[in-house]
Structure 1
Amino acid sequence: MLPEKISAFARRLIVLLALIAAATGAWAQETHLHSAARNGDVARLRALLDRGMNIDARDAAGATALLVATHGNQVEAARVLIEAGADVNAKDGIQDSPYLYAGARGHNEILKMTLAHGADLKSTNRYGGTALIPAAERGLVDTVRMLIDAGMDVNHVNNLQWTALLEAIILGNGGPRHTEVVRMLVAARADVNLPDGQGVTPLQHARRRSFKEMEDILVKAGAR
């Protein structure tokens, strides 16, 4: 009886060790893929993908290799992954996706690729904002233009009850870039009278900050 019990235990132990080895191997593979993406090692990425690597495998933070490449603005690495079918909308643990992060940071070459490969324009970040809102906040003129041209909802309201127009004014510095963003949003039919959660309008915010050029743009568009 005892030898049989030992034999059964040994079999279970072998199965358990095999499962651990498989899991460890998969984790190592994911690490290699993410490392190659982080370093922009295109040849290594292609080799790993040719070996059947899971292209949307996650690291400890929940990020895919494409998101890692996007973090570092590794354009060619991102291109390889996107053209191989990487999910441009796959979110990590803090709700960033390659598309959302590229838009928020002005990584425009990667953003352009995500837009051409199924970017979800309605997807939102951890603040409930679309890619357009942080782009407007940072005064990323070219990025804002790309997102507007892609058909982004310019009147989306985030969890702070702010639109892209409000963020460009409230969190902007009133300089040329933020002013141009305001001009583009107004031209794209942003609601110039849509207030924040406290009922304060874009025009009121611009006046409080003495952003005269923004004020003029808003007034000409019918702001109150």
Structure 2
Amino acid sequence: MCKLFKIIYFFFIGGLLVQSCGNKKQNTVMNSPSERAKFTLLEAVEKRDVNLVTEILRTNPNLELKDKKGRTALMVAAYQVDNEIANLLISAGSNVNAQDDMLNSPFLFAGANGNVPLLNSCLSHGADFKIFNRYGGTALIPAAEKGHLEVVEILCKTPGFPIDHVNNLGWTALMEAVILSDVNETQHKIIKTLVEAGADVNIPDREGVSPV
């Protein structure tokens, strides 16, 4: 009986050792640089952990990996207005035109929310003017509506930017600036900037109403 007990005991100890080795091997794989990069870049950005983001970027991770909302790490940084991390990601090659489930891209969102530093970074890293938001609009249209004068000035001076683009509502940036915005000095400057940049004052909406 004592001998049988010893045999069972040794089998039990042996099983624990094998399991321990397996777990150690698994943990080694999960802690490898490539695995950490794959599973923690989005998390690091969400936590605003600049040091961790920098560390992960050294492993050349997939920058276009998306979360359940279709957001890349750069899109998350844009939503959090974390320009320091956004610039790290852009410099590493993140796509400034990648759209999430709401059809926002870092470039479109920067324009719509008046984030000038991010807007400039996107413009210098391949911003695509033919990618539109969920309303079929450019970065300029919501900027003109919301009173982001500096964004309007920058985009109006950007070669090739479509200042007369018509969105799904039938409105141009100038039309939204006239119809949807509060009457104030900033809005007057936005309208003046658009007109002086060559915005067509006669493009009508679906009801035949023009900015004029």
Shorter-chain TM range is: 0.7 to 0.9
- The amino acid that maps onto 1:121 is F
Q: Equivalent residue for 1:113?
A: 121
Indicate if the aligned counterparts of 2:36 and 2:56 stay in contact, CA closer than 8 A: no
The separation in 2 between residues aligned to 1:113 and 1:52, in whole angstroms, is: 21
The separation in 1 between residues aligned to 2:84 and 2:120, in whole angstroms, is: 13
Greater C-alpha radius of gyration: 2
Find the partner of 2:157 among 123, 138, 149: 149
Indicate if the aligned counterparts of 1:90 and 1:97 stay in contact, CA closer than 8 A: yes
Task: Render the CA deviation track for 1:50-103: whole Å, top value 9, x for unaligned.
Answer: 233211110110000001101111111011000000000000011111111011
Find the partner of 1:162 among 160, 171, 177: 171
- The Cα shift of 1:39 comes to 3.4
Q: 1:8-157 maps to which residues of 2 (within 5 A)?
A: 32-151=40-159, 152-157=161-166
Task: Render the CA deviation track for 1:87-143: whole Å, top value 9, x for unaligned.
Answer: 000000111111110111011101100000000022110100010000001010001
Deviates more, 1:176-185 or 1:143-152: 143-152
How many residues are aligned here? 181
Indicate if the aligned counterparts of 2:71 and 2:99 stay in contact, CA closer than 8 A: yes
Identity of aligned residues (%): 43
* SS of residue matched to 1:162: coil
Q: What is the root-mean-square deviation in Å for CA atoms of aligned residues?
A: 2.0
- The amino acid that maps onto 1:60 is K
Indicate if the aligned counterparts of 2:37 and 2:59 stay in contact, CA closer than 8 A: no
Q: Equivalent residue for 1:210?
A: none
- The amino acid that maps onto 1:156 is H
Indicate if the aligned counterparts of 1:168 and 1:182 stay in contact, CA closer than 8 A: yes
Indicate if the aligned counterparts of 1:31 and 1:59 stay in contact, CA closer than 8 A: no
- The amino acid that maps onto 1:196 is D
